[in-house]
Amino acid sequence: MKVVILISGRGSNMQALLEAGLPVEFACVISNKAEAKGLEIAAAHGVPTRVMSHRDYPDRATFDTALAAEIDRHAPDLVILAGFMRVLSAAFVLHYERRLINIHPALLPAFPGLDTHARALAAGVRLHGCTVHFVTQEVDSGPILAQAAVPVLPEDTQESLGMRVLHQEHLLFPMAIRWLAEGRASLGEHGRVIYSGLSCRSDSALSSPME
Query: Which residues carry out catalysis?
Result: 104
| Span near ligand GRF by CB under 6 A; candidates 9-17, 54-62, 64-72, 90-98 | 9-17
Find out whether 173 and 13 touch, Cβ atoms under 8 Å: yes
11 touching ligand GRF, by CB under 6 A: yes
164 touching ligand GRF, by CB under 6 A: no
x/- contact string, 115-154, with ligand GRF (CB under 6 A)?
A: ----------------------------------------
Residue closest to ligand GRF, measured at CB: 83
Q: For the purposes of burial, counting CB atoms within 10 Å of the CB of 159, is it exposed (0-12), middle (13-18) or buried (19 or more)?
A: exposed
Find out whether 106 and 130 touch, Cβ atoms under 8 Å: yes
Q: At 13, which helix (H) or strand (E)?
A: helix 12-18
Q: Which residues pair with 6 in a beta bridge?
A: 30, 81
Binding ligand GRF (rule: CB under 6 A), the pick from 13, 31, 32, 49 is 13
Question: Which residue, 65 or 168, has its beta carbon nearer to ligand GRF?
Answer: 168
Minimum gap (Å) between residue 68 Cβ and ligand GRF: 20
Helices assigned H by DSSP within 49-97 = 60-72, 90-95
Question: Which residue, 103 or 135, has its beta carbon nearer to ligand GRF?
Answer: 103
3-class secondary structure, 58: coil
Find out whether 3 and 96 touch, Cβ atoms under 8 Å: no
Give residues 58-87 in contact with ligand GRF (rule: CB under 6 A): 82-83
For 156-172, the three-class secondary structure string (H helix, E strand, C coil) is CCHHHHHHHHHHHHHHH
167 touching ligand GRF, by CB under 6 A: no
9 touching ligand GRF, by CB under 6 A: yes
32 touching ligand GRF, by CB under 6 A: no
Find out whether 113 and 86 touch, Cβ atoms under 8 Å: no
Q: Which residues of the chain form contacts with ligand GRF (CB under 6 A)?
A: 7, 9-14, 38, 82-83, 103-105, 166, 169
